[in-house]
Amino acid sequence: MPDVAAVSIRGITKQYGKLRAVNNLNLEVAPGEILGFLGLNGAGKTTTIRILLDLLRPTAGKAFVFGHDCQSEGLQARSDIGYLPGEMGIYSDLTGREVLDLLAGLNRQPVDSKRRCDLQDRLGLPDSDLRRTLREYSTGMKRKLGLIQAFQADARLLILDEPTEGLDPLMQEAFCALLAETKRRGATVFMSSHVLSEVDRVCDRIALLRKGELVLLRTVEEIRGVASRRVRVYLAADVPPPELPPGVQMVETLPHTWTLQVEGFLGPLLETLRGLPVKDIEVVEARLEDVVMRYYRGDNQ
């Protein structure tokens, strides 16, 4: 029997009057996968996350977490989730420790005190900070507290909304290491982020929403494969550029140097350069940002 999907979104639509925040969204996330859930502000990411948590009810469609209907079996579905909201909207007169204990008490999974201490150490939030009230916390401290409460129960599914917002580079590194360990333990991560370099580093696949619709769903490796690359050709002598094969475009010509943009395989270009006074070739690998920004702008259509 195949594993049930960690997250299954089937034809979800959410309508607010004339505004359609999410339109017929279909998406499945496999157990153990880290999915980057991307989109500009207003694309429908937060609406989708709130439907998974049963904080919103869809106008149409169904959502499931490990086979549990997020609406009719909401308690069972949420018992498998560790959730980091975009903002920690909770009583500011509570201490950090009281927040962690309160949220742990709402979860069906027991919290290991050693695990919590380890998370504190790794994310730089010592006991002295947990004794302070939330109104004394900086943005970065609140984000650290939110990460600890999301990870402390070692849930099977983590839903993280902008997890590194407000974190310094050192804590971002600690977060990435924590995600890698979480994946090795077999947990699933559904992560919304605007930091494309972070997504490139930690995610297996990317789902990108634009105006409530899914416009891109591919592995990170597949996205790199379809992105165009920059190739610099260094010449021993000035020669006129040859006729270029399909998928290759000349970007810039300088004395002894050509810069080209290549889509697809490099073989046709290398064959074209045969016999020319080429000293060296430099290939600048494609970046995830180059492809994703095209979809953000709608240039793919």
CB 61 within 8 A of CB 12: yes
**Phi and psi torsions of 179, nearest 5°:** -60, -40
Measured in whole angstroms, the distance separating CA 126 from the mean position of its chain's CA atoms is: 28
Q: Per residue of the chain (301 residues), give pLDDT as tens.
A: 357 999 999 999 999 998 999 999 999 999 999 999 998 888 899 999 999 999 999 999 999 999 999 999 999 999 899 999 988 778 889 999 999 998 888 776 678 889 999 999 999 999 999 999 999 999 999 999 999 999 998 899 999 999 988 889 899 999 999 999 999 999 999 999 888 888 888 999 999 999 899 998 999 888 876 677 889 999 999 999 999 999 899 999 999 999 998 887 889 999 999 999 999 999 887 667 777 777 777 665 5
Tokens encoding 263:
């889509």
pLDDT tens digits, one per residue of 204-249: 999 999 989 999 899 988 887 667 788 999 999 999 999 999 989 9
CA distance 100 to 130: 9
Model pTM above 0.95: no
Tell me the per-residue pLDDT of 73-101, one tens digit each, with 9 for 90 and over. 999 999 899 999 988 778 889 999 999 99
CA angle at 41 for the pair 38 and 44, rounded to the nearest 5°: 65
- 41: which residues sit within 8 A by CB, 6+ positions away? none
Strand partners, 234: 257, 280
